[in-house]
Amino acid sequence: MTVKNLVFLSYGSSSGYYRAIYSILSLAAWVKEKINNFRLIVYTDQPEFFKTYLDGFNITYIMLSPEMLTEMLAGTGFIHRRKVAVIDLTFKNFPDEDLVFIDSDSFFTNEPKPFFAESDDAVSLMHVKEYDLDGGLRLFNLFGQGQYPQAFIEYISDRTFLIRGQPMVFNTKDYSWNSGIIGLTKNFSSYMKDVVKLTDEFYAYSKWFVSEQLAFSFILQRTTTIKSADSFVTHYWGPHQRILVDKIITRLITTQSFSDFKNSKFIRSSTTKLRHMVECDLIYEQLKIALRQRDFIYTTKKVIQLLFLKIFHISIRKRK
């Protein structure tokens, strides 16, 4: 198979480092000896912090200096642009290899079988299919943030974009896929210049904090079949979920022995429990917001979801 580079980005705080460390530990626990099939690449400003807890792992560390972190923003102030930058840099450093970018606030809960599939330029990987732009506008209005998708929709409407020299038109039926996981074949590198350009344009005109995932989503859904990683990865991006998970994984990493880190059964058990907690907490948070907005239909849906998850451990998700 084509060697895949598994790319992590972590900088700025110990809580962020612990997230990435736990993500790597969870990956190793679910793939076991197959971890050697991959090159793990960690872009960080503190390589020594990781080495303390990941001794024995085959990891390539790319040091991020303050100057490099600033350069990755290119004056935009959009922190998620750094994700685009490290993906682009990885393609440049390893031009003949596929890659999967893994957000540090993600952990594995099952074996990632798509990671072992033969390279196929017609297939890509992202975390989960979230909403089309019409649905995104309704959703963000519910949270009092409708101005961002509204500005974005106004920007793309009746506009033609040149992608690898060919015209593309986007519309409100296009989907946003969550970019907690982004799996790309080596040939997608020829699109990275356009991903960077779209990210910058989308953010400049809308200030929408998902601009980088919209850039990837829009190009990938036109050039590939996007597959979801949700069945084997939990990605927790909400502030409340981060606080919850940070406390748990920081305590686990700082109090457990090194032998526990290499105990696949122990780590796998922790990921299963943590996924259930994250899912329950996210639904509970959505429920509270729906009640404040007096959206009783959405509230009823969330109550049913929470009951099934709490009582039966069944996760109800809308599949599209």
Give the model's pLDDT for residue 292: 64
Residue 289 confidence (pLDDT): 63
Alpha helices of 171-314 — where are they, by DSSP H?
A: 192-206, 211-223, 239-255, 258-261, 264-292, 296-307
* Residue 166 bridge partners (DSSP): 163
What pLDDT score does 319 carry? 41
Q: What is the pLDDT of residue 276?
A: 81
Helix axes 264-292, 239-255, angle to 10 degrees: 160
Instruction: Compute the mean pLDDT over every residue in the chain, rounded to the nearest whole number.
Output: 90
pLDDT at 299: 59
Q: SS3 of 119, please?
A: coil
pLDDT of residue 240: 82
Tell me how crowded residue 153 is: count the other CB atoms within 10 A of its CB. 17
Confidence at residue 304, expressed as pLDDT on a 0 to 100 scale: 59
Low-confidence ranges of the chain (pLDDT < 70): 1-3, 283-320
Query: Residue 315's pLDDT is what?
Result: 57
DSSP 121-146: TTEEEES-EEEEHHHHHHHHHHTT-T
Q: How many CA atoms lie within 13 A of 93 on its CB side?
A: 16
Which positions ≥6 away from 79 have C-beta within 8 Å?
73
